[in-house]
Amino acid sequence: MSSDLLVNLNERALTLLQEDANKIEKLIEIQMENLTTRKCPLYEEVLDTQMYGLSREVDFAIRAGLISEPAGRSLLNKLERNLANLYEAQSLSR
């Protein structure tokens, strides 16, 4: 496989993962904006499911050599911190 093709595949994989991460980020932002409403278990379930799915995508991309482990972990860590902030803010708003 040519190095240009490999670089292109790596960039494309990271772009796709970032797009999925951005969707989850948007869900977190929406929920943060609506902290005055009561806690919604269904919304939390959706977020948790989306996070699990993304973690599986990242794991696959790392194992397939499409992205580096640090890049994948960085992507997940940022979302996990934001999710933790959301849950903390929810607990404080009760």
Q: What is the CATH number of the domain that holds 48?
A: 1.10.287.750
Q: What confidence tens digit (pLDDT) does each residue in 5-60 have? A: 888 999 999 999 999 999 999 988 888 887 655 567 777 888 899 999 999 999 99
pLDDT band for position 83 (50/70/90)? confident
17 CB contacts (<8 Å, ≥6 apart)?
Answer: 54, 57, 58, 61, 67, 72, 75
Residue 19 belongs to what domain range? 3-92
Number of structural domains (the chain) is 1
What DSSP designation does 94 have?
Answer: -
